Structure 1
Amino acid sequence: MRQSHVFLRNIIFIFIFSQTHSLVSQNFQDSSLPLKQRVQLLINELTLEEKVSLMVNKAAAIDRLNIPEYNWWNEGLHGVARSVPATVFPQAIGMAATFNPNLVYRVATAISDEGRAIYNHAQSKGVYRWYTGLTFWSPNVNIFRDPRWGRGHETYGEDPFLSGALGKAFVQGMQGNDKNHLKVAACAKHFMVHNGPEGNRFTFNSETNKKDLYETYLPAFQDLIDTGVAGVMCAYNKYNTESCCGSSNILSDVLRKEMGFDGYIVSDCGAINNLHDTHKVTRTPEESAALGVLSGVNVNCGQVYSLLLKSIELGLLTEKDVNKALSKQLEIRFKLGMFDLVPINPYTTISIDKINNQAHVALAREVAQKSMVLLKNSNNILPLKKGIGQIYVTGNNAADVNVLLGNYYGVSKNMVTVLEGIASTVSKTTIVQYNQGFLVQQDVKGMKTGQSGNAANADATIAVIGLNPLFEGENGDTPFSITGGDRKTIELPENQLIYLKKLKEQISDKPLIVVVCSGSAIAMPEVHDIADAIVWAWYPGEQGGQAVADVLFGNYSPSGKLPITIYKATSQLGDFEDYSISESKKTYRYFEDSPLYPFGFGLSYQPLDFKLEGTSKLSMKSKDTLNIKIKVRNLADFEQNEVIQLYVSKTDLSYPTPLFALKNIQNVTLKAGQSKRLTFKLCKTHLQQINDKGEKELPKGVYKICIGTTSPAARNIELGAQMPIELTIKLK
């Protein structure tokens, strides 16, 4: 009798299980169903309380549906950040200095492999902690319009074309190439016109005209949208008096309808709270929650959306509005494979052996090498010989791990400072001596400059100076900044300049090589005058110190280019809070004065020989595509990489236009003595101008084209760069 009861119970259990499984297999977990149908099936299963619980970045678990908790907030700007130890690549501004979309794609592929591996492993262990998710809030494609902005080193620089090209490559590498599934979800930020001041980012109202909006601030976002970026983060500030996270005009009319964005929108963290707290466009948190949803924000980074039940009770919005907002973010989670009963996402098999593996460490070194910008090299003092007798290494950044990291960084077991890189590169008979020389904020007037005798006796002195992320970065993360992460002035800190001058006095006519670590422009004309060689190293990642040594000692011929303008003085900048570009003559495209180092500038150890093939006077119609061919030859007896840049200029119109604007780039690697032919395809897209109404125009007439290893700024020639090829095109 007992056995028959057991048998009957098992039969009932099997029946119930099979029915439940059958229902589930036809429900939201059924991966054979269309995406939007699965999303709607899940929404139908959820109670209103459960829906609201999924609308914040720390989404709650829905145990009855076997949905674990999930935190949307993850960071991957230049490596998986704030998580388990992972590969630390150069900061974004350093990657921008490579001018190399394919390299950025490779970096993003490595980051997403590591991010997916961390997630897969964490899920298998039942770990759902912050910074283990698949929604990465990167890249930052804001325009670095002013070097005083502390977060500028998160960006790809001041040029919209370069920012868009590198941003697209980053998104493609992050999200993978499967048409139905995402490896991870990238996110373009901060929409829509946002780049300082950091100290009042919660209250600031950025203002521009239509021309600057469509010529400078929106193109990179458009490029990422066109390549299928999964997310967009709305900014803290107001734009033209409208709250970026509380405006249906900004998020619905412009972002979704005009620009064609079809992913999820997340608020910057705390931005929904700003609507009532600092922007004063609402009176209560409940009103802010409703306005955020109705404006189009799908995920609230923060907790204001937890009040949506109350907002609905007050009649400020409906459950239908919540469903609409929820559906967009659920689409992303489905594409990531979070609700599949049987895993079909091809990226679920990526394992932890991808994390900080040898290939990724080697890639970090390669990117750092290619990011180094040689700004000066008097009498070809570089590269130094590895067998040099004695060198003296000094400076505040020579042995500092902070300068490898930038911000939004992870940690790695493979950190190599500049001092360590030098020590591992020189010969076994080279004497290497080191002294920091001074403390970061120390008054050095009247003090002795460390081991002065050692500097005087050395065959070369390497001074590693500049800033670090404690001086420039996000509001709250920069204890040495008195302006919330920004800088009031861009001059080199006085104690560093004094120290360098004293050092130069001690070493007399022996070589002084200056390595600058910084995420933004530093005005330092006096350093240019006293240094024999200058290398700009950015915040170069875990292998940064080794990459610096590779350049200094000839393992790699520098090929980096400036993605920013380095000005001579703060006085050249104008008002920090002025977001106008064309009228205020900002960024290289409109700046009429002479900078210290122009955008696009960067020397190599041996100039290439390059020449135009064909005539320098061309004509075309708007429907045509021109092929401009050049031949480049490496005259050196070693391999070199080079960036060939194409700029377009048309300055005879009735409205302001750029002095010249970057429109195309090609990266070329040439073995010793090797020649290659390169073809630049030019069509109407490259010639289009933006008028005062923010509209694209294609004016007829003559356009000037410059192709070379730098921009066509006159200052480049003064600094030793090659003259670019010039040609004209008449558009009929």
Structure 2
Amino acid sequence: MALAEKVSQLQNDAPAIPRLGIPAYDWWNEGLHGHARDGYATVFPQAIGLAASWDAPLLQAVGTTVSVEARARFNATGAGHAHARYQGLSIWSPNINIDRDPRWGRGQETYGEDPFLTGSLAVAFVRGVQGDDPQHPRAIATPKHFVAHSGPETGRDSFDAKVSPHDLEDTYLPAFRAAVAEGGAGSLMCSYNALDGVPMCANASLLETRLRKDWGFQGYVVSDCDAVGDISSFHHYRPDDTQAAVAALRAGTDLDCGHTYASLAAAVHQGALPESALDAALVRLFAARYRLGELGGDDTYARLGADDIDNDAHRKLALRAAQESLVLLKNAPGTLPLRGGLRLAVIGPDADTLETLEANYHGTARAPVTPLQGLRTRFGAGSVSYAQGAPVAAGVPVPVPETALRTLDGAVGLHGAYYANADFAGAARLARIDRMIDFDWDRAAPADGLDADHYAVRWSGELVPPGAGDYVLAVHVDRCFDCATHDAVRLFVDGKPVLADDGDDTHVQAKLHFADDKPHALRVELVHRSRDGGVRLQWLAPPAAQLAEADRAMRAADAVVAFVGLSPDVEGEALQVEVPGFAGGDRTTLDLPAPQRALLERAAASGKPLVVVLMSGGAVGLDWAKQHADAILAAWYPGQAGGTAIAQTLAGDVNPGGRLPVTFYRSARDLPPFTSYAMAGRTYRYFRGTPLYPFGHGLSYTRFTYAAPSVSTRALRAGDTLQVSVELRNAGARAGDEVAQVYLDAPPSPLAPRHTLVGFRRVHLAPGESRRVSFVLSPRQLSSVDAAGKRAVEPGRYLVFIGGGQPGDAAGVASTFTIDGKEVLAP
């Protein structure tokens, strides 16, 4: 290759080199909880929900599905041909940063707060993505973001994480080591932040020494997008892009997501870098492309095609994942399961929205089921009344609910006319009634017979306000961030244009006053002419009117099910949101937003049994709900089958068995400053207070018992493994899943955690069934870390606990043993 050709191949959107038979290839693809951003795909629960399953085999199956669907999409274009962004086989997942603080908006993308749980699930997911043949991977997984990257979102490009050697080795590195050394990850992504003054994508001590030398990593390193440019523009670690690119390449960053590496040619010409320095990175990148068969000549996975995308098996897996992700936090006697024949009032802003199913970094769900739809299917539409009741947060519009939309002939929803052109010319290709305007059409056609890139839709009918007052209406379009043009939208009320956006603004809103609850003519028009990915008709309604509507829904009900929590509109990556409780995608408080708290208080005042279903990407301070609600179920962002899984669980068709992968604190006041990366006072391992709900917590509709544990020896020699087993029995009347958790308490020392998870297994047992569950604890699982960051198996007396949660939270049994001698472990 010529120098310019080499440089071009070190950037994520690598162009074709026709004279060498090299096709264009964009390395950027996503698969956090399903193949993402390339049309219809199976959408699993968000990563934090998958973690709540505590089921490593499930994570491997999900990873397999991600790569099968990515490979099927890849095959539609074919090896040896150009593949654009989101069409390739390099999957930039999983996110295995430690969710050290619930205020971080991207904690939802992680597997929680514990290094061992995160590492175990990462290994399973990576193995699923890559398959069983390292020489012919189905796809390549990319654990991210290496390392110590967990907020705040504001300032993430320039943030310098100060981490002690102990915390780095004890908390932040283990999951990455596991993903590489045990999972065999073929790629790794370096993060935006600096670590103790050195930007991670220029951190040779970690990228070269720790990653490649100590851990034996043979793959390639890719930067987070524009992180190489951040080295100069935000961190000011180097004075310009050229020197930033040189620093990153020399440190071991092979691929630049961005175009800062374009300056490498100048660096070679200036003598700052020999041309041969580019070759090591290129060899690693092209080795990956050869192994994937992306350049042609390998038909290992050629059979995968359209029938392998969101097929019956994958949909069943999505339902199973949603079922296993649910965590029952509270259940007063006689509350759950809900008995048949009950009349239910379903309330809350998260009861009937698509975005709280799909979360972020998602594919397009073909047939998503919201909680409201799931409950209607399970309990009967005539037994379920509904009211939205509140927005997610003050000042944050939510989808206009079906209760406020009517066709001209009185049906629920709006009449939708779908055109196969962008100017509403001729007859509509399709006419149907849509309950709401809340659609994800990212690179997907709204219906058969329409082109995903070229269509227009006109919705018409009536807006029926729940009461008099001031309203805000908005049409939200999910904008593609790199498009030259965007979709146009128009909104008409009573025949008058109140909102028009030709694609220049993403936050256009119209303020209206309605004197009463009489219907108003409504028309919404969307012209799709870009890669924008969906549309939502949203509103902010008067609180008094929404609460009164909730009162009406609850009046004739026997029980209330309230779907409250957060949404991807307020927590996520680098969001442009500044309202009470939220800033830039992060949270400033753990409290349930005030409008939803008021709704719950109104529900409790009804005197009806109250079931709270929390939908969120992170822990929420549900102290009031814990005191006043009869039952609480954590549902996370549960994916395409979430509504079905929730309804089945509330009805008792499915027995909840999930466990919390994070600590639920009572308040942000219980935590150290968000910007501090010191682990003291954080997570179940180092938090000394009393949590609202502890890490590992979860209830069941049945009861499990543990017999006395068995350990292979009471006196272990340092460096040897320890075998632990226990007889587990379902002592209740229902079949169910128990998550047997193994915690180790080390000898007291200033740096010793309270408890450390060292093993877990999800076990299904029929009523009365018993099973022996065994664990083998390696020297690494038995080790601890000193102040200098050195890991060793230390002598002393240890306690091992096996139960359905942490010691003190759940039933379990314990045993003690001693370790003789000391064994220093490799990094």
TM above 0.5: yes
Deviation at 1:127, TM superposition (A): 5.9
Counterpart residue number, 2:734: 638
Conserved 8 A contact 1:616-1:728: no
2:392 equivalent to 1:437: no
Structure 2 segments unaligned to the other structure (5+ residues): 396-541, 821-827
Counterpart residue number, 2:744: 648
Q: Describe the shift of the 1:213–1:605 C-alpha distance in structure 2 as closer, same or farther (beyond 3 A).
A: same
- 1:584-663 aligned at under 5 Å gives the runs 584-613=680-709, 618-653=714-749, 655-663=750-758
Deviation at 1:699, TM superposition (A): 1.9
Quote the Cα distance in structure 1 between the aligned partners of 2:99 and 2:602.
34
2:493 equivalent to 1:541: no
1:472 to 553, 566, 571: 571
Conserved 8 A contact 1:470-1:477: no
SS in 2 for 1:121: helix
Conserved 8 A contact 1:628-1:679: yes
Counterpart residue number, 2:796: 701
2:184 equivalent to 1:228: yes
Deviation at 1:494, TM superposition (A): 1.1
Conserved 8 A contact 2:367-2:640: yes
Number of aligned residue pairs: give it: 671
SS in 1 for 2:301: helix
Deviation at 1:389, TM superposition (A): 3.3
2:563 equivalent to 1:454: no
2:764 equivalent to 1:669: yes
Conserved 8 A contact 1:616-1:726: no
Deviation at 1:141, TM superposition (A): 0.7
SS in 2 for 1:396: coil
Quote the Cα distance in structure 2 between the aligned partners of 1:625 and 1:309.
52
| More displaced stretch, 587-596 vs 614-623 | 614-623
Quote the Cα distance in structure 1 between the aligned partners of 2:712 and 2:605.
50
2:267 equivalent to 1:323: no
Q: Could you tell me which amino acid in structure 2 is paired with residue 490 of structure 1?
A: L
Conserved 8 A contact 2:577-2:583: no
Deviation at 1:672, TM superposition (A): 2.4
Conserved 8 A contact 2:611-2:629: yes
SS in 1 for 2:583: coil
- 1:411-426 aligned at under 5 Å gives the runs 411-426=364-379
The one-character-per-residue Cα deviations of 1:108-140 (angstroms, maximum 9, x if unpaired) are: 111110011100112279562211100010011
SS in 1 for 2:140: coil
Deviation at 1:439, TM superposition (A): 2.6
Quote the Cα distance in structure 2 between the aligned partners of 1:614 and 1:650.
18
Q: Describe the shift of the 1:70–1:469 C-alpha distance in structure 2 as closer, same or farther (beyond 3 A).
A: same
Deviation at 1:51, TM superposition (A): 1.1
Quote the Cα distance in structure 1 between the aligned partners of 2:203 and 2:80.
41
Counterpart residue number, 1:28: none
2:343 equivalent to 1:390: yes
- 1:344-383 aligned at under 5 Å gives the runs 344=299, 346-383=300-337
- 1:297-336 aligned at under 5 Å gives the runs 297-336=253-292
Deviation at 1:446, TM superposition (A): 5.5
Conserved 8 A contact 2:394-2:593: no
Quote the Cα distance in structure 2 between the aligned partners of 1:424 and 1:53.
54
Q: Could you tell me which amino acid in structure 2 is paired with residue 711 of structure 1?
A: Q
2:50 equivalent to 1:95: yes
2:586 to 483, 486, 493: 486
Counterpart residue number, 1:521: 619
SS in 1 for 2:780: helix
Conserved 8 A contact 1:617-1:727: no
Quote the Cα distance in structure 2 between the aligned partners of 1:55 and 1:399.
44
Quote the Cα distance in structure 2 between the aligned partners of 1:254 and 1:724.
38
Deviation at 1:233, TM superposition (A): 0.6
Q: Could you tell me which amino acid in structure 1 is paired with residue 365 of structure 2?
A: S
Quote the Cα distance in structure 1 between the aligned partners of 2:675 and 2:8.
38
Q: Could you tell me which amino acid in structure 2 is paired with residue 211 of structure 1?
A: H
Quote the Cα distance in structure 2 between the aligned partners of 1:683 and 1:130.
41
SS in 2 for 1:588: helix
Conserved 8 A contact 2:24-2:82: no
Q: TM-score, normalised by structure 1?
A: 0.89
2:273 equivalent to 1:273: no
Q: Could you tell me which amino acid in structure 1 is paired with residue 697 of structure 2?
A: F
Counterpart residue number, 1:25: none
Structure 1 segments unaligned to the other structure (5+ residues): 1-45, 717-721
Counterpart residue number, 1:40: none
Conserved 8 A contact 2:702-2:734: no
Quote the Cα distance in structure 2 between the aligned partners of 1:187 and 1:231.
5
Deviation at 1:57, TM superposition (A): 0.3
Q: Describe the shift of the 1:446–1:476 C-alpha distance in structure 2 as closer, same or farther (beyond 3 A).
A: closer
Q: Describe the shift of the 1:446–1:247 C-alpha distance in structure 2 as closer, same or farther (beyond 3 A).
A: same
Counterpart residue number, 2:197: 241
Q: Could you tell me which amino acid in structure 2 is paired with residue 628 of structure 1?
A: V
Counterpart residue number, 2:776: 681
Quote the Cα distance in structure 1 between the aligned partners of 2:79 and 2:791.
51
Deviation at 1:482, TM superposition (A): 4.9
The one-character-per-residue Cα deviations of 1:172-210 (angstroms, maximum 9, x if unpaired) are: 000010131111010011111111111110111001111
The one-character-per-residue Cα deviations of 1:89-121 (angstroms, maximum 9, x if unpaired) are: 000000000111111001111111001110011
The one-character-per-residue Cα deviations of 1:447-472 (angstroms, maximum 9, x if unpaired) are: 64424133032111100000011111
Q: Describe the shift of the 1:125–1:553 C-alpha distance in structure 2 as closer, same or farther (beyond 3 A).
A: farther
Quote the Cα distance in structure 1 between the aligned partners of 2:127 and 2:332.
41
The one-character-per-residue Cα deviations of 1:124-167 (angstroms, maximum 9, x if unpaired) are: 79562211100010011100000011111100000000000000
Quote the Cα distance in structure 1 between the aligned partners of 2:55 and 2:189.
25
Q: Could you tell me which amino acid in structure 1 is paired with residue 569 of structure 2?
A: L
Q: Could you tell me which amino acid in structure 1 is paired with residue 343 of structure 2?
A: Q
Conserved 8 A contact 1:395-1:437: yes
Alpha-carbon RMSD across the aligned residues, in angstroms, is 1.8
Q: Could you tell me which amino acid in structure 2 is paired with residue 92 of structure 1?
A: A
Q: Describe the shift of the 1:451–1:125 C-alpha distance in structure 2 as closer, same or farther (beyond 3 A).
A: farther
Counterpart residue number, 1:726: 814
Q: Describe the shift of the 1:615–1:298 C-alpha distance in structure 2 as closer, same or farther (beyond 3 A).
A: closer
Q: Describe the shift of the 1:433–1:585 C-alpha distance in structure 2 as closer, same or farther (beyond 3 A).
A: same
Quote the Cα distance in structure 2 between the aligned partners of 1:478 and 1:153.
17
Quote the Cα distance in structure 2 between the aligned partners of 1:449 and 1:502.
9
Conserved 8 A contact 2:225-2:258: yes
Q: Could you tell me which amino acid in structure 2 is paired with residue 569 of structure 1?
A: S
The one-character-per-residue Cα deviations of 1:35-89 (angstroms, maximum 9, x if unpaired) are: xxxxxxxxxxx22221111110000001112211100000000001111210000
Counterpart residue number, 2:210: 254
Q: Determine which structure has the larger strand proportion and give its number.
A: 2
Quote the Cα distance in structure 2 between the aligned partners of 1:204 and 1:695.
26
**Structure 1 segments of 4 or more deviating over 6 A?**
none
SS in 2 for 1:562: coil
Conserved 8 A contact 1:149-1:486: yes
Q: Determine which structure has the larger helix proportion and give its number.
A: 1
SS in 2 for 1:190: coil
2:660 equivalent to 1:530: no
Counterpart residue number, 2:87: 132
Deviation at 1:651, TM superposition (A): 4.1
| More displaced stretch, 593-602 vs 450-459 | 450-459
Conserved 8 A contact 1:174-1:184: yes
Counterpart residue number, 1:559: 657
| More displaced stretch, 120-129 vs 595-604 | 120-129
Conserved 8 A contact 2:723-2:777: yes
Q: Could you tell me which amino acid in structure 2 is paired with residue 724 of structure 1?
A: G
